[in-house]
A = this chain, B = another copy of it.
């Protein structure tokens, strides 16, 4: 494991190792406070992000490392027309690890080709967001003690976000998992993704959450954006199926959890935040521990 640009590139064993390391870091962060002293991380963010960028930067600082980068492509040489390849070559001359967020499909692969240092995708193209998938499975593992034999509902926009494909690929490395895909027809998971994971996941496509809510161990919510629909009426017709309120949450199993990659707009109502199922803020916090593990694995001494 030299880079992380797709969750598909790493094995089940590597995922479990990262989960184990993230757990150690969470238990004893002081032990790692100087693990990356003298190292530099470059965060090259061509798209807006708060959570991913800030949690990677927090992770690096908590390991003693330093951060350079940009969070707005307009202030970078991209504005002058520089290619990703050249920007990556520059960043790899300055830093010890690169975190790239870019809208272009394949930008992560290009980065790996031109970089002399490890590259981590911080969200690239429409289906790669591997560090998000890792913190998601870390959150699930911490709660259930396993990544097998779970019933997971994915809800909302399963088509255009990067989070869902990455998470599906991660889950597909484990056994006996059943996944409900709850979405309006317009926002169903792409067939190419489904075909890739079908051998290992029992995938069930549903439009309506309500009939299967009691079965779920995990309900993973994403936002349904109005602008994805052809017209107002199509949106109005479906939007209410995809807002989680306390009534729905209370129908869920006592030991079940509700997750969300965040930012959340209104697809989970604020009253849910205080219910025991609400796991999304802890999930965000887990991002720091997992990203510390990832940085340790890629550029730490003990790799």
Binding site for B on A (CB under 8 A): 30, 33, 38, 40, 42, 45, 48-51, 54-55, 57-58, 61-62, 66, 68-72, 74-82, 85-87, 89-91, 93-95, 262-265, 270, 281, 284-285, 288
A50 to B95, CA, bound (A): 13
Query: Which chain B positions have C-beta within 8 A of A265?
Result: 80-82
Q: Give the interface SS of chain A, mostly helix, strand, loop or mixed.
A: helix
Cross-chain contact A284 with B61 (CB below 8 angstroms): no
Cross-chain contact B77 with A68 (CB below 8 angstroms): no
Cross-chain contact A93 with B285 (CB below 8 angstroms): yes
A98 to B142, CA, bound (A): 28
Cross-chain contact A68 with B75 (CB below 8 angstroms): no
Query: Which chain B positions have C-beta within 8 A of A95?
Result: 58
Cross-chain contact B281 with A54 (CB below 8 angstroms): no
Cross-chain contact B48 with A77 (CB below 8 angstroms): yes
Other A-B pairs beyond A49-B77, A87-B263, 14, CB < 8 Å:
A33-B38, A38-B62, A48-B74, A48-B79, A50-B76, A50-B77, A50-B87, A50-B90, A57-B68, A72-B72, A82-B263, A86-B262, A89-B281, A90-B281
Cross-chain contact B50 with A61 (CB below 8 angstroms): no
Cross-chain contact A263 with B40 (CB below 8 angstroms): no
Q: Which of B33, B48, B94, B281 contacts A58 (CB 8 A)?
A: B94
Nearest CB in chain B to that of A65: its residue: B61
Query: Most chain-B CB neighbours within 10 Å: which of A30, A79, A86?
Result: A86
A57 to B43, CA, bound (A): 13
26 contacts between A and B (CB under 8 A): A30-B38, A33-B38, A40-B61, A40-B62, A48-B75, A49-B75, A49-B77, A50-B70, A50-B75, A50-B90, A51-B77, A51-B90, A54-B94, A70-B71, A71-B72, A72-B74, A77-B263, A81-B263, A82-B262, A85-B270, A86-B262, A86-B264, A87-B263, A90-B262, A93-B281, A93-B288
